[in-house]
Amino acid sequence: MCSILGREGQAAARATVVAMVEAHPAPGRENGAGAPSRDQSPFVELDRDRWSALAPATPQPLTEHELIGLRGLGDQLDLREVAEVYQPLSRLLNLYAAGARDLHTATREFLGDRGPRTPFVIGVAGSVAVGKSTIARLLRELLSRWDDTPRVERVTTDGFLLPTAELSRRGILHRKGFPESYDRRTLLRFVSRIKAGAEEVRAPVYSHLSYDIIPGAEIIVRRPDILIVEGLNVLQPPGPGASLAVSDLFDFTVYVDARTSDIADWYEQRFLKLQRGAFSDPRSYFHRYASLSEDEARITARRIWGDINEPNLTQNILPTRARASLVLRKERDHTVSTVLLRKI
């Protein structure tokens, strides 16, 4: 993870960290293993007011109409949330990206290398239904409005899931979304080529309608300024027998956090909306749920959450939270109340 800023940004970040560490010891919270002392915690904890005050002059580039197109099912993102939480984050990421470019340029000059510029890669992780896709889409829009990073691409790890037929052959279709259900080698190769400055890199495409990889479909990424990689397990360490994980190639990582009970409720509400909407399409993999009553749909959603999504969260996703560069803590109404930034 890159923690190198330009001189001005580095000085400002250090001053902020020192001040906030003194003012805000990290309290305990559900899902945590206890509250470390402020000297032991790898993060500085900022409440919403202090976080939003860090970039008061950052311009608001989005309109309400644009924001509507970025929201996911159940998300209640508004312009105030953008201004107070995500504009400061976009400013911080802009500083990190500028610092990474400066370091890369200096290293190339030192080596006498005239190779291609390396894109800045951001990982966004978190549970199903926590809102990470909305956040990744929003960051893409905000970061692309900065003059020095106009080309920002977003790729989800859904495209790197193994095909449904292969998951069935391996007997792990019921563990779709768990680390073993991904083609991790192909994902690692994709991000490695991006970081190497390849002119053009291709990624598979996943359909939420068919619940499967679309044969022959590809996303083409052409040397962006910033690439955002979003997925459940992007912060996973190397697997057994592996020396490198995709998380090792990220310059900055964001973990979207919330209480497990809140995420379970959000998942249920999302399932109900899908059941009344996308599931009604006869082509949908989940069309069999379209005729359920509301009570039956709620029971089904809770069963899927309890059998698949909650175990994946507790066993695989949540344990990677401490590896993030920054943690966004969301409350029951989806608003971010606290930001934890890894100390510099």
Residues making up the annotated binding site for ATP are: 126-133
Distance CA 233, CA 247 (A): 9
Place of tokens 């990744």: 136
First to last CA, the chain: 11
> What's the rounded Cα separation, in Å, for the pair 233 and 123?
10
Location of structure tokens 């083409």 = 220
Q: Which residues are annotated as a binding site?
A: 126-133
The Cβ of residue 79 has, within 10 Å, a number of other Cβ atoms equal to: 13
Amino acid at 33: A
